[in-house]
Amino acid sequence: MTDLLIESTVLEDRLRAALPSDVDYTSARFVDERSEHLSVRRNQLEPMFTEYDTGVMITIWNGGGLGYAATTDLSETGLAAAVDRARYWAGVTAGAMVTTAAPTSHAVGSYSSPVEVTWDTLPLNDRLELLQQQSRLLGIDDRIVNWGASLVRREVDQLLLTASREGDTGRIEQRFRFVYPSLTATANEGTNTQTRTFGGHAFCGQGGAEVLGRYGFGDAASQIAEQALELLTAPNCPTGVMDALLAPDQMILQIHESIGHPLELDRILGDERNYAGTSFVTPGMFGSYQYGSELLNVTFDPTVPGQLASYGFDDDGTPAERQHLIENGILVRGLGGTVSQERSGLPGVANSRAQNWNRPPIDRMANLNVEPGDSTVEELIGSIEHGVYLHTNNSWSIDDSRNKFQFGCEYGQRIENGEIVGAVRNPGYRGISSTFWRSLSGVTALVLWFYAIGNLPLATAMMRFTPGIEDFPTVPPSPPAVAGASFTSSSIFTVPMSGSGSSIAWQSRKICSGILASRVAISI
């Protein structure tokens, strides 16, 4: 795949010429996206395909109004029509906006994903053979009834041009290169079906072919197949009050839901109330609210190299910077771009981001990181007398305020007297975002590189929690036995806290990171 459009000076000149000079602020955000999809299912190559998506978003702020218009027509006529449409809506909304603060950034700069080994260094035949090899390693037993391996390469080139009636102009060029590897194995025996995957979305990143080695893609298939089979004979996850240890490929969702979404300023201000819900966080909490224990330090950092949510500038043109969201347990900053900051009067971050060329930017999280501490993984595992280690999310549910949650996982491991003693199946846990981080009592030192996915978070540390037993909901009783009936249910961990980490514990490189929740009520 090539990136010809963004290199066209003709196109750039046309975009620049289309921007009006008689408005307060205007921008043209051009996006050119290309992706290649390769997959093997049950040792059979599935149809390969590529996708292309190109367009431009015109934004106009003028007279206190805001207008957008998106188009795939990159001709002079098409761009002029989009500008006219955006100008029309800016006029319609003048005097009816919740804010009149237009973006002021006219930055000049660029960003490129760091690529160590270009994707084309791995020829197509080699990429297909790699997938075939992984597929053969997955399909090792007749009880594995479905399995597959896939690779997705995605290239996104973006050009942001800005202008104002004062004559200010800006130009930001960003080139993103993503790799998404995937493995899955589903085992079945009778009525029991179990699935293991390659960390869900945890092992994707920016870069070239080196991303596959970064997360051990070539070494994981056998382990995934073995664990899927292991779950067929494993007991159901035990119930009761015990410790819970969350692996990083589960914690990526946990921090996303219990810290990321609650801190989005547009959500806090009510903008998403009828679409994606609100937040239990209120504007008055910033600067004083005890979000977690003094060991909880959370940063927003799009500047980390090679992560899925890394970038140089947001879509308002604000330079990306590392910022603390939670410092020594205190909530200090929200996830809000320039507009949300002006409306709320609160500090924010460079996170005004659009999903695609045909969507306006909103407050979206990027790389979130739970900063490392000074404990070791072995120390945290060794401190558990009775507990379960949870891996890889497979279901989730959370209320509109991003407070009460319930998550299920693919794979669990019992821990007894400081040692992992065996696998358990159908684990899950539930908790309340507004209280559980306060029980954080230990954080591991940095153990590996960072990761993120899209607008999902990244983290590097394993965390131990020691909540008071009074903080847990009552364990519900087991359902009564019914003659002639059988039940399939997931065990539920009731946890008042959780976190995020950097790599799954079962990788061959002996890297491990996660969180530990102590004295967790577990119930069916």
Query: Over the stretch 24-34, which tens digit does the pLDDT of each residue have?
Result: 999 999 999 99
Contact 367, 304 (CB under 8 A): yes
Token look-up 């846990």 returns 429
Q: Residue 521 pLDDT more than 60?
A: no
How do residues 328-358 score in pLDDT, each as one tens digit? Answer: 999 999 999 999 999 999 999 999 999 999 9
With tokens 């205190």, the residue in question is: 330
Task: Please tell me the predicted confidence (pLDDT) of residue 95.
Answer: 87
Higher pLDDT, 36 or 387: 36
pTM: 0.85
What does the pLDDT average to over 11-40? 96
Least confident of 7-16, 294-303, 458-467: 458-467
**Lowest mean pLDDT segment, chosen from 57-61, 229-233, 291-295:** 291-295
Q: Does 187 have pLDDT greater than 60?
A: yes
Residue 406 has pLDDT above 50, yes or no: yes
The mean pLDDT value of the chain amounts to 83
Judge contact between 337 and 363, C-beta under 8 A. Answer: yes
Task: Judge whether residue 448 has pLDDT over 70.
Answer: no
Predicted local distance difference test score (pLDDT) of residue 466: 54
Confidence of residue 462 (pLDDT cuts 50, 70, 90): low
The answer on pLDDT for 519 being more than 90 is no
The pLDDT of residue 487 is: 24
Residue extents of the structural domains in the chain: 9-229, 234-250+373-523
Nearest-10 Cα torsion for 355, 359, 360, 366? 0
DSSP label at residue 444: B
Q: Average pLDDT in the 7-12 region?
A: 85
Instruction: Tell me the pLDDT band of 461, cut-offs 50, 70 and 90.
Output: low
The alpha carbons of the chain give a radius of gyration, in whole angstroms, of: 24
Cβ pair 158, 30 in contact under 8 A:
yes
pLDDT of 517 above 70: no
Looking at 296-418, which runs of residues are DSSP E strands? 298-300, 323-327, 330-331, 352-353, 362-363, 368-370, 386-398, 404-416
**Residue-wise pLDDT tens digits, 114-146:** 999 999 899 999 999 999 999 999 999 999 999
Fold of the domain built from segment(s) 9-229: PmbA/TldD fold (3.30.2290)
Which contiguous run of DSSP H or E holds residue 359? Answer: none
Does residue 368 contact residue 217 with C-beta atoms inside 8 Å? Answer: no
